[in-house]
Structure 1
Amino acid sequence: MSGLTESTPLLGRASLVRPQMFWRAGAILVTLGMVAGAFGSHGLRKKSGITPDQIQAWGTASNYTVFNGLGLMLVSMHPRFATHRFAGPAIAIGSVVFSGTIFALVLARDRFKWLGPVTPLGGSFMMAGFLSLAF
């Protein structure tokens, strides 16, 4: 492995990516996911025209936001992956795109129909980010 040790980041220290960024981004995602989940459980149900499927989709997006936030926080603490140039950004961006498009589609489906095909791209980024940690 060309001189890498358990404490050496995969792509060097020259990166602008810092563990504190992952930690903060993760904490923000966890908070946003919790707020979205609370809104989905209370405020969204009161909105006219919201279907049970939309509420379920909202819950999925909220859960993924929390899980990815926790994942980023864990990545930030790992000596080998805390400055990984791909994993953290891919997880963070993927989470925002995946969950954000679902939130937008639930709240304003008619205005944002074009976001439907974008949602899987966010999911693909999340998966690629976590998968990159395996290698």
Structure 2
Amino acid sequence: MKKIAFVCLGNICRSPMAEFVMKSLTDQVHIESRATSNWEHGNPIHRGTRQIFQTHHIAYDANKRSIPLSRADFYEFDYLIGMDQQNVRDLLEMAPADCQSKVFPFDQEGVPDPYYTGRFEATYLQIQKGCQDWLHFLKK
């Protein structure tokens, strides 16, 4: 079974949204999410993301807390997917040399951070499409 981790700055908005949207689409992939920073370490999923889950009837773990990416994660996961270009740059900077090829962007545009934009519904729509694209890619 492939293992993927969606990664954003704080792991309270975009990456947990991608984690649980992807989990709603498949049980054939091991899916988690992480943060490139420890700013939100231990904090719960943002209320805006929880509202998206409730609005769209997406099951999620209400006990999910922000988890900073560790060195071991680079070896545990097959794909580390940065939600925007800065996340990808941070991942590449953090990644051991032999794990650089596991780092990918979520999509070509990058997902704007709804923590700052407040646009959780737009973020959800972009993540929904991106997760479907990733699922198609992983099935190849």
Same fold, judged at TM 0.5 (above): no
Counting helix residues as a fraction of each chain, which structure ranks higher? 1
* Structure in which a larger fraction of residues adopt strand: 2
Larger Rg: 1
Tell me the TM-score normalised to structure 1 length: 0.31
